[in-house]
A and B are shown apart, each in its own frame.
Chain A
Amino acid sequence: MLHGDLDGLEDLVVAEYQTHEHDVLVIGAGGAGLRAAIAAAAEGVSVGVVSKSLLGKAHTVMAEGGMAAAMANVDDRDDWRVHFADTMRGGQYLNSWRMAELHAREAPDAVRDLEAWGALFDRTPDGRILQRNFGGHKYPRLAHVGDRTGLEMIRTLQDKGTHSGIHFHMECTVLALLKDGERVAGAFGYDRERGRFRLLRARAVVLATGGIGRAYEITSNSWEYTGDGHALAYQAGAALQDMEFVQFHPTGMVWPPSVRGILVTEGVRGEGGTLVNSEGRRFMFDDIPENYRAHTAASPEEGWRYTQGDKNARRPPELLTRDHVARCIVREVREGRGSPHGGVYLDIAWIREKLPNAAEHIRKKLPSMYHQFKQLADIDITKEAMEVGPTTHYIMGGIRVDGDSQMSTVPGLFAAGECAAGLHGANRLGGNSLSDLVVFGKRAGEYAARFAREHGAATVDTDSVDAAARQALEPFERNGSGEGPYQVQHTLQEMMQELVGIVRREEEIVRALSCIGELRARAERVAVPGNREYNPGWHTALDLPNLLTVSEAIARSALERRESRGGHFRDDYPEKDPAYGSFNLILRKGPDGEMSITRESIPEMPPELKQIIEENK
């Protein structure tokens, strides 16, 4: 049909595309996307999954520490209420309390689903799923597999998905969402292999595209994380929320330069690793926030006992929330107490003082970290301290969704995982991401399937398809006469790192916004050589508009929030302001095409949830 509609345009290359039709189209094949696809397929609808990379390579694979779920296998005092309270406290109460509640209630079953599909978690002595300590979690709560939990999750979901009748579009990137009036009608993209366009018609679309780390210079994220889902949703008219909250993971590698930003799992600290400055001081003991004081160890000895499972001990300050630990590291470095390469020391080798078989214990508990440092930095972490510093890791903000259904403000358009907002508020706790993926991936898949069943096929507007195709091919037409895409990307990354990074100021953010405007003009003129077949220069050029959209969203929100809270720290407003604790910042594309920002009040929390928070203060 569609090809017939375009008969008159055969002289235009843009008319050439393959058409696929699915009831539910999932964009993204990490933990959330695969879980959504499996859930939708289980509802009996036809499902297509678009994967920007090969299947099983998504960023979920990098998750190390584990997935948080109050199963109480290790400490029977844990239950969903404590997990809920921990998540809200970590998020500085800007979270969607409904999502935090659902997440805490449903995470244990989500872990058990994975086990039923073949995942093999580490075990307790009595044969149950072992759980480990992590920052901001009151009790040992993270189900894990050594320090490669993400790989276990992705492989389990990949293998389950492979046998669920799902159609996979591997190495395919979406350029635009298509709409039928208000409602979503599918997506338009291209395959990397041949550069051919694909029209993907769908009754419902789930975005599960992950994060935005590539907007920054120092990041733990791979090339894929260019904010595609955020930008696609925004361009399609959906609202974004909490975009000022970017998580800078406190411990990334800092040396040698080529590995800068690669993640060092929080699990190192969970196993007893300490943060030490160049003067040999455990500086985390010097700055413990008031709302965490009652939960934090009074001495190194008590902290050590906590990491070894002593239920009467409180956690060491290294396991405070990521935003706080990252800022303490920045402070040490700024005040001249950093390591030679601009980080601080993370020391796990010291536990040989406590454990007779420490080296073996470290290699067993942290095998990936051991190999990563051995191979990339010539450091044996069982003998030497690591040098670490903050790295862009995660965005708490994202597409605004309904807590129960995960539907965005555009009918039929759903979002789950990192690209959705709400669960984590101003700061995400470690371990809450993997559980987020499967809890809300499942919900998004189920509700998308329901939406697809309840709504007929949508009509695709072929004009918008042609426009998207024509725009995508423009960089080739400028070959030889324009700047390369990598220069623009690198300039943006350096600029965001410097001006909208961990510590922010009004004049810097204002400068960033004007830079983004200039970079947008440059991005519109980039040229790429070669042809459409597997051409990374072209792909980078096509990712630029998304990176610019999310960068602008981060900067605009960061400017508007004149306080410091969670992942957002304003040097010019260093204190938390209670007046800013009652609303989320919402971004929409205005009628004039400009980004508009509004404040939306957080709905009143039901008394029973309020009571849970009081009881866990």
Chain B
Amino acid sequence: MSTTEEAVATTAVGGPETVRTGERAAEKLEQAVPAPGRRATFRIWRGDATGGKLQDYTTEVSEGMVVLDAVHQIQAEQANDLAVRWNCKAGKCGSCSAEVNGKPKLMCMTRLTDLNLDEPVTVEPMRTFPPLRDLVTDVSWNFRVKQRIKPFRPRAPDAPDGSWRMAQADVDRVQEFRKCIECFLCQDVCHVLRDHAKYDEFIGPRFLVQVAALEMHPLDTEDRIDELKEAFGVGYCNITKCCGNVCPENITITDNAIIPLKERVVDRHYDPLRKLVQLMRGRKP
């Protein structure tokens, strides 16, 4: 890496030296890829709501491939009915969530060069949601949860044209939460849902992030603190941080979203003095 940095440091604006660094990057890639004609085995879960089993497929792998490419290739060549959700294939839509070698991942962003291809690569559906078929799970619960969150309610506009004024610094922290692509990998890995199946009492990290985005939105005037404590079950989270570790957008879910929400609940419900002051000021905590 250091040689690359040095090379760039000496380039002229848009000049040929910068270009050469691009070529070097291509060379770097070529060294890291599997040899042409290399084959790898993918152990893919096939089945439906009634059950299923892992099935091996061997296919040719080539440069730069991701797990979703391999799945598509198998689908096109060996198993036309292999069910998989996907859309953008660029890590932006959050459709192709699955468990690759047991780890919650977006298949489109999991490169084969990061996996040991000497062993079969296991690809299974997210375990927290009911299986529909093959790699596709029933994630409809998430959409029902979303419906239960009180919508955005802005303060009156700041300007006659109906617009508002906000400082970028105040927008920054909410923009982090709004990077969420709703892949539901955080929901998949969360033990409150995965191991304890608290679907009725806990909304999961994704929707705590959404509540945080609303609660910390500079314009929002709605109050969701009571639901957080009761219906949304923020107390169930014991901050193991598994959710943040699997987030493809690197959202700091627990530290930046869930812990501040927990603090708001504590302030409201367990600090009578503060509550009194807030009531007198008539302000939202």
| A interface residues, Cβ below 8 angstroms from B | 53-59, 61-62, 109, 112, 115-118, 120, 122-123, 125-130, 145-146, 148, 151-152, 155, 159-160, 162-163, 168, 170, 193, 222-224, 255-259, 262-263, 274, 276, 278-280, 282, 300, 339-341, 345, 347, 349-350, 352-354, 368, 371-372, 375-379, 383-387, 484-487, 490, 528-531, 533-538, 540
Q: B86, B91, B152, B165: which contacts A159 (Cβ < 8 A)?
A: B152
Q: Please name the residue on chain B nearest to A486 by beta carbon.
A: B76
Say whether A537 contacts B18, CB under 8 Å: no
Say whether A383 contacts B84, CB under 8 Å: no
Q: B12, B24, B65, B133: which contacts A533 (Cβ < 8 A)?
A: B133
- In the complex where A151-B181, A276-B19, A383-B5 touch, is A128 in contact with B32 (Cβ < 8 A)? no
Residue B66 at the chain A interface, CB threshold 8 Å: yes
Given contacts A56-B93, A59-B87, A385-B25, 8 further A-B contacts (CB under 8 A): A55-B143, A120-B171, A125-B168, A151-B92, A162-B143, A258-B66, A259-B89, A280-B15
Q: A116, A259, A300, A376: which contacts B162 (Cβ < 8 A)?
A: A116
Complex CA–CA separation, A593 to B80 (angstroms):
31
Least distance between B128 CB and chain A CB atoms (Å) = 16
Say whether B80 contacts A385, CB under 8 Å: no
Could you say which residues of chain A place their CB within 8 Å of the CB of B9? 352
Complex CA–CA separation, A193 to B147 (angstroms):
21
Least distance between A50 CB and chain B CB atoms (Å) = 15
Residue B267 at the chain A interface, CB threshold 8 Å: no
Q: Please name the residue on chain A nearest to B152 by beta carbon.
A: A118
Complex CA–CA separation, A255 to B33 (angstroms):
13
Complex CA–CA separation, A354 to B151 (angstroms):
44
Say whether A528 contacts B147, CB under 8 Å: no
- In the complex where A126-B165, A528-B81, A534-B133 touch, is A255 in contact with B29 (Cβ < 8 A)? yes
Say whether A347 contacts B14, CB under 8 Å: yes
Say whether B87 contacts A223, CB under 8 Å: yes
Q: A54, A112, A258, A536: which contacts B95 (Cβ < 8 A)?
A: A54
Q: Please name the residue on chain A nearest to B4 by beta carbon.
A: A383
B window 1-18: CB within 8 A of A: 4-5, 8-9, 11-18
Say whether B76 contacts A120, CB under 8 Å: no
Number of residue pairs spanning A and B whose beta carbons lie under 8 angstroms apart:
248
Say whether B21 contacts A383, CB under 8 Å: yes
Return the CB mask of B72-93 against A: 1 if under 8 Å, else 0: 0001110011111111111111
**Stretch of B115-123, B172-180, B194-202 lying at the A interface:** B172-180
Q: Please name the residue on chain A nearest to B62 by beta carbon.
A: A257
Could you say which residues of chain B place their CB within 8 Å of the CB of A352? 8-9
12 interchain pairs (CB within 8 A)? A54-B139, A57-B87, A112-B161, A118-B154, A128-B165, A148-B179, A262-B89, A282-B14, A300-B14, A339-B19, A352-B8, A377-B29
Complex CA–CA separation, A256 to B83 (angstroms):
25
Q: Please name the residue on chain B nearest to A278 by beta carbon.
A: B19
Could you say which residues of chain B place their CB within 8 Å of the CB of A347? 14, 18-19, 22
Say whether A62 contacts B64, CB under 8 Å: no
Least distance between A321 CB and chain B CB atoms (Å) = 21
Could you say which residues of chain B place their CB within 8 Å of the CB of A372? 90-91
Q: B22, B32, B77: which contacts A339 (Cβ < 8 A)?
A: B22
- In the complex where A280-B15, A340-B26, A384-B21 touch, is A376 in contact with B64 (Cβ < 8 A)? yes
Q: Please name the residue on chain B nearest to A371 by beta carbon.
A: B91
- In the complex where A255-B29, A258-B69 touch, is A486 in contact with B134 (Cβ < 8 A)? no
Q: B8, B14, B26, B152: which contacts A276 (Cβ < 8 A)?
A: B14
Complex CA–CA separation, A351 to B109 (angstroms):
28
Q: B13, B19, B62, B76: which contacts A345 (Cβ < 8 A)?
A: B19
Q: A58, A280, A376: which contacts B16 (Cβ < 8 A)?
A: A280
Say whether B16 contacts A530, CB under 8 Å: no
Q: Please name the residue on chain A nearest to B147 by beta carbon.
A: A162
Say whether B81 contacts A538, CB under 8 Å: yes
Least distance between B22 CB and chain A CB atoms (Å) = 4
Q: B87, B163, B219: which contacts A128 (Cβ < 8 A)?
A: B163
